[in-house]
Structure formats: C-alpha cells, structure tokens
Amino acid sequence: MSNMRNRVSILDKPLNKSRSDVSISLFGLLFSEIVQYCQNRVYTIPELQTKLSELGFHVGQRVLDLLFVREKNYKRETKLLNILLFVKSSVWKTLFGKEADKLEQANDDDKTYYLIEKEPLVTKFISVPKDRGSLNCASFVAGIIEAILIGCNFPAKVTAHWYKGTTFMIKFEESVIVRDKAMENR
C-alpha cells in the first residue's frame, strides 16, 4: 500500500540507545497518574495489581524485542538460568540503570525463583496507605518481567510482594522445568 503522507516508517529508524534521559520527578508523576487511572477502574487491591501488571506486560513485550535486537544480536535465550540472569542484568540496567539486587531459587520448589529489589523505582514515591498494606505498585514491573519470560517461551506467573524490600516471585510452569532438565542431560 502506498502511503500518501509519506512518513518515515518506524522500522527504518535506528534502535540506538537514546542519549537523553528524563527527569525522575516527571516519571514519578506520570506513574502516579497511571496508578490513579487504574484505581478508578477497579474495586479491589488484587484487581488494581493485575491492571498495573497488564500495563507492565505491554512495556515488557517491547523491551524484549528492543534488547534482543540491540544487545543480543537477535539471539534469544534458551536456558532457564540465562534468561533469569538476562532479566536481572540487561533488562534491569536498561530500565532502571542498575542490576537487580538478588536472584534466588526457592529451597523447596524448583519452579519458583525470587528476584529481589530493595527499592524499585516505581514504588519509590508511593506511600502505601495503612489500610492497604498489601498493595505493591511494583506489580507493574512484575508485568514487565512476565512479558519477557513468556516472550522467550518460558511461561511463568510473576507477582510482586513486600519481602526484603520488594520481591518478585517467579513461578514457572512445570513444562519449563522439564524442558530445561532435558536440555541439560543432552
């Protein structure tokens, strides 16, 4: 189809890292508006967290493509540990300017991993009301992680919790673990 308006296609633009950063105040206020927007459309805290997670998912899908094209030479990760490390380092560095604090595996469950971030950027400016102690707006970031894992074919559920700061609990589907073990044995 010919485009009458003759604009540069988005696919023709370079994917170089943009030099300019934006102010943290502006991001904080934008995120606050997003939380309020979501809050006005839900009734419960879990619903609010799901909504934030969905918005994060949208971001994660795009970060995934951006990073694999720009930094990984189009090659996606196939090993469980590598994809987790990719999230902990590359993804975190691109989005938040630093690596995530810790990555741990649950002692009693080989499907569960924890990614620990003491003070996530998005919750930095949010004081959680006392009557809503469980609310964690880092659900937005959980959505980003989930999108990246699912996008690389590691189906998982990611949720944000208040534990050692914020902990993202990553629960992989059984099939992921089975596949990963099979690959190891080859």
Partner 1 sequence: MSRQAVRSTDPKKVSSELFTLTYGSLVAQMLKDYESDEEVNKQLDRMGYNIGLRLIEDFLARTNVGRCYDFRDTAEKLQMAFKMYLGISPSITNWSAAGDEFSLILESNPLTEFVELPDSHVNLKYSNIIPGVIRGALEMVQTEVVACFVHDQLKGDSTSELRVKFVRRLEDAIPAGED
The stretch near partner 1 (CB under 8 A) out of 57-65, 80-88, 152-160, 170-178 is: 57-65
Asked if 136 and 161 touch (Cβ cutoff 8 Å), the reply is yes
Asked if 160 and 49 touch (Cβ cutoff 8 Å), the reply is yes
The one among 95, 126, 128, 177 contacting partner 1 by CB under 8 A: 95
Contacts of 74 (CB under 8 A, 6+ apart): 68
- Which residue, 8 or 182, is less far from partner 1 as judged by CB? 8
Asked if 110 and 137 touch (Cβ cutoff 8 Å), the reply is no
- Please report, as residue ranges, which positions from 125 to 144 form the binding site for partner 1 (by CB under 8 A): 140
* Alpha carbon distances (Å) from 136 to 141, 183, 186: 10, 36, 41
Q: What backbone phi and psi angles, to 5 degrees, belong to 159? A: -130, 155
Q: Does the protein bind partner 1 through residue 2 (CB under 8 A)?
A: no
Residue 141 CB, shortest distance to partner 1, in Å, is 10
Q: Does the protein bind partner 1 through residue 97 (CB under 8 A)?
A: yes
Of residues 163, 164, 184, 170, the one with CA closest to residue 60: 170
End-to-end alpha carbon distance in the chain: 48
- Which residue, 30 or 183, is less far from partner 1 as judged by CB? 30
The stretch near partner 1 (CB under 8 A) out of 28-36, 79-87, 105-113, 150-158 is: 28-36
User: Which parts of this chain interact with partner 1 (CB under 8 A)?
Assistant: 5-7, 9-10, 17-27, 29-31, 33-34, 37, 41, 54-56, 58-59, 62-63, 66, 93-99, 119, 121, 140
